Structure 1
Amino acid sequence: MARTDSTTEDLVEAPRTFRGQLAHRTGVGLVLLVAAAGLLGLLGPRTSTHTEAADGWRLSVEHASITRSGQPAPLHLRIESSDGFTGPVQVALCDDLFDHLDFQNWYPNPSAETSSPTRLLYEFDPPEGNVLEVSLDARAAPGQWGGREQCRAEVLDAEQPVVSVDFTTWVAP
């Protein structure tokens, strides 16, 4: 025997209000916008290169401009001196950058390193020729929930900056 009693037969569907429809459409639109940005690669890891030159020196910094927790955050420095290198090459970087990185290794390794309250100073043996390329293998540290880190890379001669490049890394949530 089939029962015909229903607990919902007396319910009347309430009409949607304009505000409800607008909120629904706005929410769906935002989800679609984020999905489209992800599909186009706009939210994924990205690198940028910044270059400055002064007094016969040229510094190019390739860095992670957008990364996520646990994703690669490479840093590549190309230092050129029109006169060549007569002694060790000193590079200063902001120390805050390394608070947010899972540091792996420098290639080549610095021959010396020291720090101050605001920056780290690395010293590299002089290469043959007039170009030194240095790469840092790093990832954004696990547990990073987003934020922006501004940094400055400086090449020093006699402990005085001769050329510098400012760059920003954004860790996406």
Structure 2
Amino acid sequence: MSETSTLDGVRPVTAGPRPLLWRRVGLLMLVVVVVAGLFGFLGDRVGVVEGTAGDGHHLRLEYAQTSRPGLDVPFQITVTRPEGLDPEVTLAITGDYLRLYETQGWYPEPSEQTRDGQWVYLTFATEGQPVMVIDFDAYIQPNAVLPRSGQLAVVVDGEPVDPLSFRTFLFP
């Protein structure tokens, strides 16, 4: 071919078509993502964990199992005790987990809030009721990208007892 030919470097027909493997792999990945989105696997999910703690307390936590940064998420704690709660109940929540949130506050507000190296301790007045529901008005921080694990426990005799474990996974 001459120096001015536009066919220099063009793959000859006799070499056959280029492998379609990479195009097919890319298309398959796209289909998997679309189908996962259609069936709700990539969306927000609410998780629930519950269990018993010392002194007959029953804990239930409704939280964001999967979410995206910047979205409002549920975080509701229910503490029950058939014979009635003590006048004050102290809960312990993993402090590092709470850094995942931008918060508007706890409802009801704790009468006392302290922190040590691992736990945030929240003390609530219960007035002896058998059930107490606590809401955490919060959303995931816009700069949060990594999943976080946490624990929640009732504090009995100054120590968190039988903590519930949970994990929030974040999608970009």
| Amino acid in the other structure paired with 2:16 | P
Q: Deviations over 1:78-120 (max 9, x none)?
A: 1011321232110110011122211122111111101111111
Look up the match of 2:85.
85
Distance, in Å, in 2 between the alignment partners of 1:22 and 1:47 is 38
Q: 1:42 to 1:127 in 2, by over 3 A?
A: farther
Identity percentage over the alignment?
27
Distance, in Å, in 1 between the alignment partners of 2:100 and 2:167 is 13
Give 1:137 deviation, angstroms.
1.3
Structure 2, unpaired ranges of 5+: 1-5
> Does 2:23 align with 1:16?
no
User: Contact (CA 8 Å) 2:90, 2:121: kept in 1 or not?
Assistant: yes
Distance, in Å, in 2 between the alignment partners of 1:143 and 1:15 is 49
Aligned length: 164
Structure 1, unpaired ranges of 5+: 1-6
TM-score by length of 2: 0.86
Look up the match of 1:119.
119
Look up the match of 1:159.
158
| Amino acid in the other structure paired with 1:165 | L
> Does 2:104 align with 1:104?
yes
Look up the match of 2:3.
none
